[in-house]
Amino acid sequence: MDQRRPLSGPRIVEAAVAVADSGGLAAVSMRNVGRELGVEAMSLYHHVANKDALLDALAEWIFARIELPGEHEPWRAGMVKRAASARDVLASHPWALGLIESRATPGPALLRHHDAVLGCLLANGFPAALAAHAFSVIDAYVYGFVLTEENLPFDPAANKGAEAYAAGVASLLQDYPHLAAVIPALANGYSFAAEFDYGLDLILDAVEQRRGLPRQAEPSVVASSPPLNRSNSRTAAGDSVTDSGASGLTSG
């Protein structure tokens, strides 16, 4: 890294990203980041309070790179755009998977990200509780997909990789007829990477269906909520809305 550039907060974060990209999140320390910059670790404390502050800044760096939906953009297009962008950013920096939802001190980029996603859903007529549900399940899908891609025993974007894997396990499936029936599909141009769009469509189709339900037909946000007062149960079941599904707003 160019040592002639003045030391600054953004430059320190760039160095921390380089350390994480090469050695994972566990490699990020003030000492290693200082080494990446060619300076002593103590020099960093003039710009970054401590390691926790550096990790907060890394989470901000990730969120700032995810493309956000517009508030008045059609909700489905907005969710697809944001999910695809999040997948690309996280796949490029897989160490971020364990970081971005772990921060107790959310910064502006994280808050802007969450606000934009919820704002798009709310502007498209989603009840608050359903917007929180949709945001949560889409993120769970994106994070899980990236984690799976990162750990597959073959290149998820290469058709031949899946075919070779299928051929390698074929002899093990004699006692597993359902797997044996499905595995040949991997020999016909299968790409696990292409599953992302298909799976996201399944989720968004379900969200669209749920959005079309009458308000009183929406399921409760908290499945194990305490029993309602019997005299008010019919009204309360139709009108209750909770923010528990939006816990990511304070956990990022």
Residue 233 forms part of a structural domain: no
**pLDDT value for 241:** 31
**pLDDT value for 167:** 78
**pLDDT value for 183:** 81
Pick from 204, 247, 205: which is nearest to 222 by CA?
247
Q: Where are the alpha helices (DSSP H) in the chain?
A: 9-23, 30-37, 51-63, 75-92, 108-123, 128-151, 159-169, 177-182, 195-211, 233-239, 248-251
Termini Cα distance of the chain:
29
d(CA 122, CA 212): 14
**pLDDT value for 166:** 77
Residue 104 forms part of a structural domain: yes
Enter the tokens of residue 192. 């696990």
Residue 197 forms part of a structural domain: yes
Enter the tokens of residue 39. 């300076």
Length of the chain: 252
- What domain range is 20 assigned to? 9-63
Contact 27, 54 (CB under 8 A): no
Quick one: 192 and 89 in the same domain?
yes
CATH (domain of 112) = 1.10.357.10
DSSP label at residue 151: H
Quick one: 101 and 194 in the same domain?
yes
Q: Is the pLDDT score of 231 beyond 70?
A: no
Query: For the residues 178-203, what does the mean pLDDT come to?
Result: 86
d(CA 27, CA 64): 22
Residue 252 forms part of a structural domain: no
Rounded to the nearest 5°, which phi and psi values hold at 196?
A: -60, -50
DSSP label at residue 171: G
Residue 178 forms part of a structural domain: yes
**pLDDT value for 235:** 36
Residue 201 forms part of a structural domain: yes
**pLDDT value for 164:** 78
Quick one: 46 and 89 in the same domain?
no
Domain count, the chain: 2
Residue of higher predicted confidence among 48 and 219: 48
Q: pLDDT class for 215, splitting at 50, 70, 90?
A: low
Query: Nearest 5°: CA angle at 70, between 66 and 71?
Result: 130
Flag the least confident range among 99-113, 131-145, 178-192, 197-211: 178-192
Residue of higher predicted confidence among 47 and 225: 47
Quick one: 144 and 27 in the same domain?
no
pTM for the predicted model, two decimal places:
0.79
Quick one: 173 and 201 in the same domain?
yes
Pick from 43, 40, 15: which is nearest to 27 by CA?
15
pLDDT tens, position by position, 10-62: 999 999 999 999 999 999 999 999 999 999 999 999 999 999 999 999 999 99
pLDDT tens, position by position, 128-183: 999 999 999 999 999 999 999 999 887 776 656 777 777 788 888 889 999 888 88
CATH (domain of 48) = 1.10.10.60
Residue 133 forms part of a structural domain: yes
